Amino acid sequence: MIDLTPAARRTAALLAAVPDDALGARTPCGEYTLGDLVDHVGGLALAFTWAAAKDARTALSAQGPSGDAARLESGWQKLYPERLDALAAAWRAPDAWTGMTQAGGVDLPGEVAGLVALDELVVHGWDIARATDRPYDVPQEEIDACLEFVSQAQSGPEPGPFGAAVPVPPEAPALDRLIGLTGRDPFWTP
């Protein structure tokens, strides 16, 4: 079990600081604007909270939380950080990490779903920080867990769920290597 609380709070703080006039900004996530990315994080917070609880509402998120700024809910600056707190609380339950669950229409072992949730928080937190030109520090334990998960997911002959990796030197900082494995350029700037 990994405590998702620090990653959730870090991402929540970044979300709370996003002004409405920045929602059209570019992000390292290809076609996502910052508003699209914020919507995606709000949706994944619900989906992975339900996944932790093995809640039947996971079927509602069968297509996964895509991002669309037009769907941002009123008061999202307060609501989405609250959702991230609920996500972290749900994954503190030992049962969340056991058995099978579902997220984004995919059946997963609980321990894998927890790592996916952590990776989503860490990587999308980085995306938001980069898009808003804010500092972003991640504890090594989180980076190591995400690197192990993403490395396994990307180890097949076809690009994994993140698309083609961006080459990063092996001596690069671990966070840069993680970001590169997820198909992002760790040196991306707005």
DSSP string computed for 104-165: TTEEEEHHHHHHHHHHHHHHHHHHHHHHTT------HHHHHHHHHHHHHHT-SSS--TT-SP
Distances (CA, A) of 137 to 45, 104, 174: 21, 28, 12
Percent of the chain with pLDDT over 70: 92
Segment 87-93 shows an average pLDDT of: 97
In the CATH hierarchy, which fold is given to the domain comprising 5-141?
Answer: Four Helix Bundle (Hemerythrin (Met), subunit A) (1.20.120)
CB atoms within 10 A of CB 141: 11
Residue 65 confidence (pLDDT): 61
**How many Å separate Cα 179 from the centre of its chain?**
12
Spans of all domains in the chain: 5-141
Residue 105 clears pLDDT 90, i.e. is over it: no
- With 70 as the cut, is the pLDDT of residue 71 above it? yes
pLDDT at 159 over 70: no
Examine the pLDDT at 169 and tell me if it is beyond 80. yes
List all residues 6 or more positions away from 114 whose beta carbon is below 8 Å from its beta carbon: 1, 2, 4, 52, 91, 96, 97
CA atoms within 13 A on the CB side of 54: 13
Who wins on pLDDT, 57 or 27? 27
| 3-state DSSP percent of the chain in helix, strand and coil, to 5 | 55, 5, 40
Question: In the beta sheet, which residues pair with residue 106?
Answer: 103
Least confident of 55-64, 74-83, 87-96, 154-163: 55-64
